[in-house]
């Protein structure tokens, strides 16, 4: 079965995977934006929240500085190739992978009980 992905209004990188009821996007690990900045803007778009008005802070869910350090290059300058972290923000489950893949599940409807510990989207 093929997964249907549709691009959201948030940009070309954020796509809604209707088959799996999740948003999928990729953080450019070589770009200038931090992974936390990418996640905040994606979550704001998904949850229709205005971050500029202080309606949402990633600090409510995870330490953004620690998240950035966790996925930054190693001390010797090489990329991190493994690992992931999961947290809940704005009632959305967020999975961040070392390769830049980020998967966001919308709030579950009355505890659907679905396991979401799946792999990355690549």
Smallest CA-to-CA distance from 71 within 62, 63, 81, 61 is with: 81
The distance between the two most distant Cα atoms of the chain, rounded to a whole number of Å, is 46
97 forms bridges with which residues in the sheet?
84
Q: pTM here?
A: 0.77
Domain segments of the chain as ranges: 5-105
pLDDT for 55 equals: 72
Residues 6+ apart with CB under 8 A from 95: 84, 85, 86, 102, 103, 104, 105, 116, 120
pLDDT tens-place string over residues 93-122:
999 999 899 999 999 864 444 455 555 444
Give the burial class of 115: count Cβ atoms within 10 A of its Cβ; 0-12 exposed, 13-18 middle, 19 or more buried. Answer: exposed
């Amino acid at each position: 079965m093929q997964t249907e992905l549709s691009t959201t209004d948030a940009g070309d990188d954020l796509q809604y995977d209707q088959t799996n009821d999740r948003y999928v996007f990729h953080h450019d690990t070589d770009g200038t934006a931090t992974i936390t900045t990418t996640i905040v803007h994606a979550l704001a778009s998904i949850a229709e929240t205005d971050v500029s008005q202080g309606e949402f802070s990633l600090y409510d869910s995870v330490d953004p500085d620690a998240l950035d350090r966790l996925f930054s290059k190693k001390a010797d300058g090489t990329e991190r190739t493994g690992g992931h972290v999961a947290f809940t923000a704005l009632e959305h489950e967020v999975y961040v992978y070392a390769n830049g893949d980020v998967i966001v599940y919308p709030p579950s409807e009355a505890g659907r009980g679905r396991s979401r510990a799946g792999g990355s989207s690549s």
